[in-house]
Amino acid sequence: MQTIDPRNAISIRGLTKTYANGFQALKGIDLDVKENDFFALLGPNGAGKSTIIGIISTLVRASSGTIQVFGQNVATHVYETKLSLGIVPQEINFSQFEKVGDIVITQAGYYGLRGELAKQRAEKYLRKLDLWEKRDNRSRMLSGGMKRRLMIARALVHEPRLLILDEPTAGVDIELRRSMWEFLQELNRNGTTIILTTHYLEEAESLCRNIAIINQGQIVENTSMRKLLDKLARQTLIFDTCDELKTLPAFNDSDIQCNAIDSHSFEVSLSTSRDINGLYATLSDQGVLIKGMRNKTNRLEELFLSSLKS
């Protein structure tokens, strides 16, 4: 078993969980998340992500293993570890009949904050998440995206050092998702460690520095985002042209394969280890004017699927 660095935000060792119905959700998880990291925990449905979060938050009891939050065991230092934690669950779990402001202020009370301080904190985070105008509305009147933001505001009201978000942008429209990304990045820059589970791999690639992939209760990949992306052997780039393509560009290189898509676009497949400056030079020489370029598939998506298969 690996030694534990007490500076880690989270250290998990030998974590297993078998539910009452016999389903083994976790089969010996070892995981470290460094302080101030922006960490992605990815995996297909039922892989064990929410079980890990449930055990960290004490809603689920581990069958065996230990979890330390900032060097303190969650089983023995309940108060200290819970004070450091903010949890944003996957499912909406606030009262549908209470007012938005009351939900956040009440949560502050559970952490020993009262009166003006609780109100100030509630205002601060409701404003940051664009919910201040809705503070007197019943929570059931909020849209799906607003409900998710309310759960983030509620999780932040005691200003935890570690924020865990279980699919926070599920069902949230693109514009709102981007604004939530910016907010989370700002939080992380200000020192909050963030652990994120998500199905949007683009989200993990954009936000997270380190990543673990879990499948069938086991960690199958645990590395930095950069190293993981470097594992991709080939990439396919799509080029959009300014003018109609009469003939497909020719590349005198066996590593490069080129295929037409339509009259104004084509795709080029090549090794990830090489630079793409030469492609532009070749295209310029052949008089092909490029309007835009993009990856054909999400790179992380390819790696995610190959990790699960292997």
CA torsion angle 242 243 248 250 (round to 10): -60
Comparing CB distances to another protein, the nearer of 113 and 268 is 113
Tell me the CA distances in angstroms from 22 to 133, 217, 239, 287, one per residue in order: 47, 14, 51, 65
- Residue 79 contacts another protein per CB under 8 A: yes
304 CB burial (10 A radius; 0-12, 13-18, 19+): buried
> 46, 59, 284, 306: which one contacts another protein (CB under 8 A)?
59
- Residue 308 contacts another protein per CB under 8 A: no
- Residue 95 contacts another protein per CB under 8 A: yes
> 109, 144, 171, 292: which one contacts another protein (CB under 8 A)?
109
What's the closest the beta carbon of residue 76 comes to another protein, in angstroms?
14
With beta carbons less than 8 A apart as the criterion, state whether 75 and 242 touch. Answer: no
What's the closest the beta carbon of residue 229 comes to another protein, in angstroms?
34
Comparing CB distances to another protein, the nearer of 114 and 199 is 114
Which residue, 117, 113, 135, 137, is CA-closest to 126? Answer: 135
Distance of CA 222 to the CA centre of its chain: 14
- Residue 83 contacts another protein per CB under 8 A: yes
- Residue 106 contacts another protein per CB under 8 A: yes
Amino acid at 134: K
User: Which element (helix H / strand E) includes 146?
Assistant: helix 144-156
What's the closest the beta carbon of residue 309 comes to another protein, in angstroms?
30
SS3 assignment, position 97: coil
Distance of CA 82 to the CA centre of its chain: 21
- Residue 18 contacts another protein per CB under 8 A: no
Query: Using CA atoms, how far apart are residues 256 and 98, in angstroms rounded to an integer?
Result: 60
> 2, 6, 91, 309: which one contacts another protein (CB under 8 A)?
91
With beta carbons less than 8 A apart as the criterion, state whether 86 and 46 touch. Answer: no
What's the closest the beta carbon of residue 154 comes to another protein, in angstroms?
7
Site string for another protein, 144-163 (x = CB under 8 A): ----------x---------
- Residue 96 contacts another protein per CB under 8 A: yes
> 26, 33, 41, 113: which one contacts another protein (CB under 8 A)?
113
Stretch that binds another protein, among 56-64, 197-205, 227-235, 285-293 (CB under 8 A): 56-64
Comparing CB distances to another protein, the nearer of 165 and 207 is 165
- Residue 102 contacts another protein per CB under 8 A: yes
CA torsion angle 269 274 276 278 (round to 10): -110
* Touching another protein, residues 36-55 (CB under 8 A): 54
Phi, psi (degrees; rounded to nearest 5) at 195: -115, 130
301 CB burial (10 A radius; 0-12, 13-18, 19+): middle
Comparing CB distances to another protein, the nearer of 113 and 142 is 113
Token output for 173: 């429209």
- Residue 111 contacts another protein per CB under 8 A: yes
Query: Using CA atoms, how far apart are residues 83 and 160, in angstroms rounded to an integer?
Result: 7
- Residue 87 contacts another protein per CB under 8 A: yes
Residues that bind another protein (CB under 8 A): 19-20, 54, 57-61, 78-79, 82-83, 85, 87, 89, 91-97, 102, 106-107, 109-114, 154
